[in-house]
Amino acid sequence: MDATRTFDVQKLRADFPILSRTVHGKPLVYLDNGASAQKPRAVIDAIRNVYEHEYSNVHRAAHELSAACTEKFEQARRTVQRFLNAPEDREVIFVRGTTEGINLVAQTFGRANIGQGDEIVITAMEHHSNIVPWQMLCEEKGAKLRVAPMDDTGTLIFDEYVKLVNDRTKLVGVVHVSNALGTVNPVKRMAEAAHKVGAVILVDGAQAAPHMRIDVQELGVDFYAFSGHKAFGPTGIGALWGRAELLEAMPPWQGGGEMIKTVKFEKTTYAAIPHKFEAGTPNIADTIGLAAGLEYLMEIGLDNMEAYEHELLEYATTQVSAIEGVRVIGTAQNKAGVISFVLDGIHAADAGMILDEQGIAVRVGQHCAEPVMDFFKIPATVRASFAFYNTREEVDALVKGIHKVKELFA
C-alpha cells in the first residue's frame, strides 16, 4: 500500500495553525519534531475550554466545577491507559514528562531494590535522561552501570546485550527509539532476556509513543514513560506506566497533599496507586490537553501514521544520502523518522542557521546524547525529525536548503 496516497496529509496539516506561518519570509518547514511536536486545534481548544469553562482543583471539593474537572482529569488517565493498552488505569501516573518518569522509578524502585554489587544495564544510544539517573543511583548504592554496545549503523548488538544481562542485573533501561539516530530497539526481546534473570525493564518511549502503536502488554515491559509535548500535546505533562504489583510495592517519591491516606505526627499512611505518586496539585489543564492529543492520534490511526512516516523517511534518506559531502549518522535497518547527518567541513550549528534562513527548522548539537556523538567521533549533527504532517515537498525543501549551505561554504 502506498501510504502517501491514502494518508490525507494536507487535511491533517490544516489542523495545525502554526504550520501556515512563514519564517524569514519563507513557508515554515518544521522538521524538529523529535524535540517537540506542534499542536493541533483539538489540543489548543481542550486547554482553553478548561480555563474558560471548567477549571477547578481536582479530587478535593464538593462543588460542580471540581466534580466536572475531576472527571475529565481521570478520563485523561483512562485515555493514556487505552493509548498504551495498559491493563488498568490505576497503573498510569502523571508526571512532567519522560525525564521525571525515569527519575521517579530510579528514586523509588531503584532505591528500594538496587544495592551494593547489583547492576543496571542500559544501551550505548541512550538519551542523557536514561543515563544520569542511573549513574546517580549507582554512585549512591555502590551498584554498577553496564552499557550494551551498538555497531557502526547505530544498531544494538543484541548478543552483547544478552551477555551483559545476568543474575546481578536488577534493571534494564532502554530507549524504544533513539532520539539521535532513529534506531528502533527490539524492546520485546530485550524484556524477555531481562525477565529470564529476574530483572525489570524500563522503556524510554519519548520518541516512540508519538509515532507508532504502543502496547505495553505485547511488549512485555515493566515501566514505560513518554512525554506529552512530543506527542502533539502540551509541555510539562507526560505519563509513566508501571505494572501494578511493582507500583504498589514502591515507596512514594514526594510527600504532600493528595498522596496521603492519613497524616498523624506519629505516622503517615499513603494513598493507593496512582495517587501515591502524585503529590500536590496536578497539571490539570495540560493533562486534559494530553488526552486530547492522544485521542487525536488514535483517531488518525497509529498504524496508518507509522506507515506514512516510514515512506517519508525512506524518501528523505534517499534524497539526503545522495548529496555529495553529506554523511548520515545512524543507518540501522529498523528506524523511525529521524535523519541525523554531518556535512564535510561545515559545523552543524552553521548549517542549522542557514537552513533556518530558508524557513527550515531542524535541530543541531548533541541532542542530549553526548556518548552517541563520542562513538561516531563527531562533535554534533544536524537532525531532521519527521511527523505525519510533513510532506515530500518539505523534504525537497530540506535538500535544497542543504545545497544552499554547501554553496555558501564552497
Q: Give residue-wise pLDDT tens across range 5-26.
A: 568 999 999 999 999 999 999 9
Going by pLDDT thresholds of 50, 70 and 90, the confidence category of residue 62 is: confident
Q: Indicate whether 386 pLDDT > 70.
A: yes
What whole-number distance in Å separates Cα of residue 220 and Cα of residue 48? 37
Maximum C-alpha span of the chain: 74
| 286 domain residue, yes or no | yes
Helices (H), 165-321: 187-196, 216-219, 244-249, 284-300, 302-321
Coil vs helix vs strand at 226: strand
Query: Do residue 273 and residue 348 come from a single domain?
Result: no
**Do 80 and 8 lie in a common domain?**
no
d(CA 320, CA 342): 11
Confidence of residue 346 (pLDDT cuts 50, 70, 90): very high
Among 225, 258, 221, CA closest to 241? 225
Average pLDDT, whole number, for the chain? 96
Same domain membership, residue 305 and residue 282: no
Indicate whether 121 and 196 sit together in one domain: yes
Is 38 a member of any domain? no
Supply the pLDDT for residue 60: 78
Mean pLDDT, residues 164-193: 98
Tell me the CATH number at 308: 3.90.1150.10
Residue indicated by cell numbers 503517615? 268
Q: Which residues make Cβ contacts (< 8 Å) with residue 150, sequence separation at least 6?
A: 123, 124, 125, 156, 157, 183, 375
How many independent structural domains does the chain possess?
2
- Could you count the other beta carbons within 10 Å of the beta carbon of residue 115? 11
56, 123: one domain: yes
Active site residue 368: yes
Q: For residue range 211-247, list pLDDT tens digits in order.
A: 999 999 999 999 999 999 999 999 999 999 999 999 9
Amino acid at 111: R
Whether residues 367 and 381 fall in one domain: yes
Residue 7 has a pLDDT of: 80
Whether 107 and 199 map to the same domain: the answer is yes
Chain position carrying cell 519534531: 33
At which of 299, 321, 347 does a domain end? 299
Q: Tell me if 39 is assigned to some domain.
A: no
Last residue of a domain, one of 299, 326, 349: 299
User: Do residues 123 and 13 both lie within one domain?
Assistant: no
Q: What is the pLDDT of residues 63-74, one digit of tens each?
A: 999 999 999 999
Q: Residue 90: inside a domain, yes or no?
A: yes
User: Would you state the pLDDT for residue 6?
Assistant: 65
Q: Which of 268, 299, 330 is the last residue of a domain?
A: 299
Q: Which residue has the higher pLDDT, 61 or 227?
A: 227
373 lies in some domain: yes
Specify the pLDDT at position 1: 42
pTM above 0.85, yes or no: yes
The single residue of 65, 279, 361, 368 carrying the catalytic annotation is 368
Range of the domain at 24: 3-30+301-408
One domain for residues 251 and 110: yes
Q: How much is the average pLDDT of 167-178?
A: 98
153 and 283 share one domain: yes
The DSSP annotation for 68-124 comes to: HHHHHHHHHHHHHHHHHT-S-GGGEEEESSHHHHHHHHIIIIIHHH--TT-EEEEET
Looking at the fold, whether 177 and 319 belong to one and the same domain comes out as no
With contact defined as beta carbons under 8 Å apart, do 369 and 125 qualify? yes
Q: What is the b/e burial string over 82-106, where b = at least 16 CB atoms within 10 angstroms of the residue's CB?
A: ebbebeebbbbbbbbbbbbbbbbbb
> Quick one: 69 and 88 in the same domain?
yes
Domain presence at residue 145: yes
